Amino acid sequence: MELDVADDTGCSKRQKIPQSRCNERCAPGYRKASKIGHQDCCYDCVSCSEGEMSHITDSEICHRCPEDGWPDEGKVKCVPKTYAFLSYEEDDIVVIFVFTSVLLSVVTAIILGIFICYWDSPIVKANNRTVSLVLLVSILLSFLCIFLFLDRPVDITCMLRQTIFGIFFSISVSSVLSKTITVCIAFKATKPGSLWRKLIGVKTSNYVIGICSSVQVLICVSWMSVSPPYQEFDMTSYTDQIFIQCNEGSDIWFYSMLGYMGFLAAVSFVLAFMVRTLPDSFNEAKYITFSMLVFCSVWIAMIPAYLSTKGKYMVAMEIFAILGSSAGLLGCIFLPKCFIIIMKRDINWSQSQRHRLR
């Protein structure tokens, strides 16, 4: 600071007045912090904490940015937060999910074509070929439903993603349960005139799939009517971003949907495990046992991981569980059959001849 003063001759001249401070001023983006045991004019300049800014020199305090804002690189002003979601352009994991989903969908479509081409083959007829067709279509739709979980969510996709996923998966697991019940009934119906013989047929399988799937449809419809999912802006998962996610609306209905699906899978696993060693041509029980073991393992491992993550990783965990469990059903139940149809035609032919002799 300069001031005009008069010398001995009466002429004025400018002189610097010493400032009562022992350090430089704090620049914007910093605040003053007192030094213990020193005069008030002595202080340290401390950078503003995360989420705070100061735009004046020698600021006493830093100001926190609003919930939808974040300090710039110099912590001088607040700038709007960017929006985050599982994006096709920004997230490499989305490309992996899309590639995996398309690949598994193509494999499922090829297996479906093989089953249609060999519709009258004994290995296709075993354990109800119509149920196998329903199971393949539901697995195919389960692979494709992951696209509802990708990109920016809106209210309609939030409502569709869980309901469509829950219904398709319930149809898949109900079909597996129907196959398992068919195997169990077949081994019970050994005596002529037995009540079990009356239960063997397409109608029983259709009833099992229809009733079990209808319960899941009822759960989802009730969920959408009482407390449907909706788009939500998560301000806390990321410090400098706003994550756009789906709020499930009601955790009770969400876990009821998952719990019912788990119940169907557990019943299928127990029944298939009980009859897995019974001798019969093309007995599916052991394949169903392995498929349900993979299915249950994936979802049991997913639930704690899902609850312990947030943001993009939470959505990614659910997508991984959908792809992993569906691939388990496809691989364990249908790939062994396709191997026999394509590579072991003599086995299939011999079984066909045996059935004709009967």
User: Contact, 57 vs 25, CB < 8 A?
Assistant: yes
Domain that holds residue 218: 92-357
Bridge-partner residues for 255, per DSSP?
none
Residues 219 and 343 in one domain: yes
Residues 64 and 123 in one domain: no
74-108 pLDDT, tens per residue? 888 888 888 888 888 888 899 999 999 999 999 99
Exposed, middle or buried by CB within 10 Å (0-12, 13-18, 19+), for 220? buried
| 18 within domain boundaries | yes
Calculate ∠ Cα 58-63-68, nearest 5°: 145
Distance between CA 202 and CA 129 in Å, rounded?
A: 10
Q: Which of 80, 107, 131 is the last residue of a domain?
A: 80
Q: Are residues 116 and 44 in the same domain?
A: no
- pTM of this prediction exceeds 0.75: yes
Terminal CA-CA length for the chain:
114
How does pLDDT run across 187-211, given as a tens digit for each residue?
665 555 555 555 565 577 788 899 9
Q: What span, in angstroms and rounded, lies between the C-alpha atoms of 267 and 170?
A: 13
- The residue out of 80, 109, 138 marking a domain boundary is 80
Same domain, 207 and 285: yes
CATH of the domain at 25: 2.10.50.30
Sort 98 into a burial class: Cβ within 10 Å, 0-12 / 13-18 / 19+.
middle
| Mean of pLDDT values over 213-230 | 93
Residues 108, 157 share a domain: yes
Phi first, then psi, for residue 61 (nearest 5°) are -135, 165
DSSP result, 297-329: HHHHHHHHHHHH--THHHHHHHHHHHHHHHHHH
How many structural domains are present in the chain?
A: 2
